[in-house]
Amino acid sequence: MDAQTIALVQTSFEKVAPIADLAADLFYTRLFVLDPSLRPMFGADLTEQKKKLTQLLTVAVRGLSRLDEIVPAVQALGRRHAGYHVKPEHYATVAAALLWTLEQGLGADFTPELKTAWTEVYTVLANTMIATQSEAQTTTWVPPTKSHIPQAALAVAGD
């Protein structure tokens, strides 16, 4: 990610920050229009969720120039998302809702260049999350088989 992309995203995010509550409302409304089947994954009251998402995005956007420092937190977030039953394909729907929200919030300032910059940033975050999610799912979902039992234990059990 180059310095120009980071600067574009950070400057635009500062412009959306004062209307964060409205932006969060727009985001979730749009998300559930795009895919109503996602609604039950979230609790009935989205108030806390909206705050967390806004805070997380603030930290992520401010941390873009020190991406290596925020990677562990993004990985942990990805692992938690496996627990929320989020699937890799859901990330594209969230991307669409996010880009649409930015377009509403920024109007004419949401240039094609800015859209590309945000897409790049989201892709880095989402791919980091998805990578850990598939690890978590593999370790969670593989059913125990005899091959997981140490050979020595089998030998003792068979005696």
Site residues for ligand HEM per CB under 6 A: 38, 41-43, 49, 52-53, 56, 77, 80-81, 84, 86, 90-91, 94, 122, 125-126, 129
* CB 53, min distance to ligand HEM, A: 5
Residue with Cβ nearer ligand HEM (83 or 154):
83
* CB 3, min distance to ligand HEM, A: 22
Q: Look up tokens 């995010």; give the residue.
A: 13
* CB 76, min distance to ligand HEM, A: 8
Residue with Cβ nearer ligand HEM (7 or 84):
84
* CB 152, min distance to ligand HEM, A: 40
- What's the 3-state SS for the chain? CCHHHHHHHHHHHHHHHHHHHHHHHHHHHHHHHHCHHHHHHCCCCCHHHHHHHHHHHHHHHHCHHHHHHHHHHHHHHHHHHHHCCCCCCHHHHHHHHHHHHHHHHHHHHCCHHHHHHHHHHHHHHHHHHHHHHHHHHHHHHCCCCHHHCCHHHHHHHHC
Residue with Cβ nearer ligand HEM (88 or 103):
88
Residue with Cβ nearer ligand HEM (39 or 146):
39
